[in-house]
Amino acid sequence: MKIEHFILGPERYQEYNSSLHSGAFTWSSPSNIALVKYWGKKENQIPENPSISFTLDACKTTTTLKYSKKESGADFSFEVFLDGEKKDEFKPKIETFFKRIELYLPFLRAYHFKIETSNTFPHSSGIASSASGMSALALCLMSMENQLLMSSEGGKPLNDGFFTEKASFLARLGSGSACRSIEGDVVVWGKHADIEGSSDLFGVKFPYTVHENFKNYNDTILLVDKGEKQVSSTVGHDLMYGHPFAQERFKQAHKHLSHMIDVLKRGDLKAFISLVESEALTLHAMMMSSMPYFILMKPSTLEIINKIWAFRNQTGSNLCFTLDAGANVHVLYPEKETEQVLEFIKNELVEYCQNGHYICDTIGFGANLLDEE
Ligand code: DP6
């Protein structure tokens, strides 16, 4: 698949001269948790290695995009609101996003946008909202493109497959991991030899049957540190340039993904645990061994990891942990073990969470259109 695929041909550009004046779309889009991590990217948000994630269900961003045709002016024109409050500090990130995607959505400068967004998880929870936020916005913009095409003379809607693919393509240009938040419970992003149709340009649904052991898998997010991220993802990915172990890490990610395909098909929970924990610790090892170097885990992160290992040894449970680029711990476990693991979390792990806060989530299936006007 080539980038040109996402640029409308000259005949369709004409159709943008439609009389569409104003309207609104509302999409709700989930966060996701990577099992094999994306860490390191090339120009234009192309990942250095393929990644795979579970889509979450409860951690979501809902975004309403209101658009109205502008009288004049060639600049981007938009306002952003979080929970009803104007947030000018979010504007630079969206401006960068618009600049990156305007080639693919040539109507962007012709409209004024009001972007109203809210998260189901607290803004200050330390849970990154970029994946859910950028995917929700990309979907709203795709709905708008669809509307523009349909409202023009003889216009037809985009087919569903293209709509989803382009939404993921655009979301990636907002934040890499956002392209894994559009559709599907398990999503792969990045070209991988064993996954037909996989692409560096957008996320695809895991194309094989996932074993029922992973059905309704749980992700309980322990909020160890709710502060601002110590290392932004842009800075983080840049640490992989010239990193002494980078090339080996990228190769390892390919191998881990090959292995993960097999594990997900066979429902091998023990192998799943080894892979997922190794990926989490490798991500942090990359940060610790880069220049400059960072330790993003907190003492409580390590306490939790040790408690999880001890619990697993004692009980034979299949819970495991994974980490993002921060101190919070995602505890992953099968549906069958929900009661037992939640009991363990309440008794032994909550004390390491800031103000005792944690969020219970499970695997979800992707984004939803909530409203259109
Ligand atoms: C550690 O997607 O936030 O969560 O493309 O710069 O926006 P940008 O990065 P981002 O990086 C996510 C990194 C990660 C691993 C992952 O989700 O695969």
Residue 226 vs residue 195, higher pLDDT: 195
The CA-based angle 172-119-30, given to 5 degrees, is 45
Question: What CA–CA distance (Å, rounded) separates 117 from 130?
Answer: 12
Tens digit of pLDDT for each residue in 15-41?
565 678 899 999 999 999 999 999 999
Give me the chain's average pLDDT, please.
93
Q: Which atom of ligand 1 is nearest to the CA of 128?
A: 3
The CA-based angle 194-196-197, given to 5 degrees, is 140
Closest CA to 247 of 213, 295, 286, 202: 286
Both tokens of 44, joined, read: 């234009």
Mutate to test the pocket of ligand 1, among 52, 53, 177 (most ligand atoms within 8 A of CB): 177
Q: Which atom of ligand 1 is nearest to the CA of 37?
A: 18
Tens digit of pLDDT for each residue in 166-182?
999 999 999 999 999 99
Q: What SS3 state is found at 64?
A: strand
Question: What CA–CA distance (Å, rounded) separates 53 from 77?
Answer: 34
CA of residue 97 to ligand 1 center, whole Å: 15
pLDDT of 244 higher than 70: yes
The CA-based angle 160-164-169, given to 5 degrees, is 145
Both tokens of 216, joined, read: 């309704």
Mutate to test the pocket of ligand 1, among 29, 31, 38 (most ligand atoms within 8 A of CB): 38
Q: What is the pTM of this model?
A: 0.96
pLDDT of 11 higher than 60: no
Predicted confidence at residue 1, as pLDDT, reads 66
| Range of lowest pLDDT (4-8, 49-53, 78-82, 151-155) | 151-155
Question: What CA–CA distance (Å, rounded) separates 68 from 39?
Answer: 38
pLDDT of 14 higher than 80: no
Closest CA to 274 of 337, 332, 320, 342: 320
Question: What CA–CA distance (Å, rounded) separates 171 from 185?
Answer: 17
Pocket of ligand 1 (CB under 6 A): 34, 37-39, 45, 51, 128, 130, 175-177, 233-234, 237, 283, 324-325
Question: What CA–CA distance (Å, rounded) separates 324 from 281?
Answer: 10
**Which domains does the chain possess?**
3-190 (3.30.230.10), 210-362 (3.30.70.890)
Alpha helices (H) in 175-298, listed in sequence order: 233-238, 246-266, 269-288
pLDDT of 184 higher than 80: yes
CA of residue 236 to ligand 1 center, whole Å: 9
Question: What CA–CA distance (Å, rounded) separates 78 from 336?
Answer: 47
Start-to-end CA distance of the chain, whole Å, equals 33
Strands 51-69 and 186-189: antiparallel
Q: Which atom of ligand 1 is nearest to the CA of 38?
A: 18
Question: What CA–CA distance (Å, rounded) separates 339 from 37?
Answer: 28
Predicted confidence at residue 31, as pLDDT, reads 97
CA of residue 69 to ligand 1 center, whole Å: 34
Residue 55 has phi, psi (to 5 degrees) of: -80, 140
> Contact, 63 vs 78, CB < 8 A?
no
At 4, the pLDDT band (50, 70, 90 cuts) reads: confident
CA of residue 138 to ligand 1 center, whole Å: 17
Both tokens of 206, joined, read: 């895991």
pLDDT of 250 higher than 90: yes
CA of residue 225 to ligand 1 center, whole Å: 18
| Range of lowest pLDDT (172-181, 218-227, 308-317) | 218-227
CA of residue 287 to ligand 1 center, whole Å: 13
| Range of lowest pLDDT (133-142, 170-179, 194-203, 225-234) | 225-234
Percent of the chain with pLDDT over 90: 83
Question: What CA–CA distance (Å, rounded) separates 164 from 158?
Answer: 10
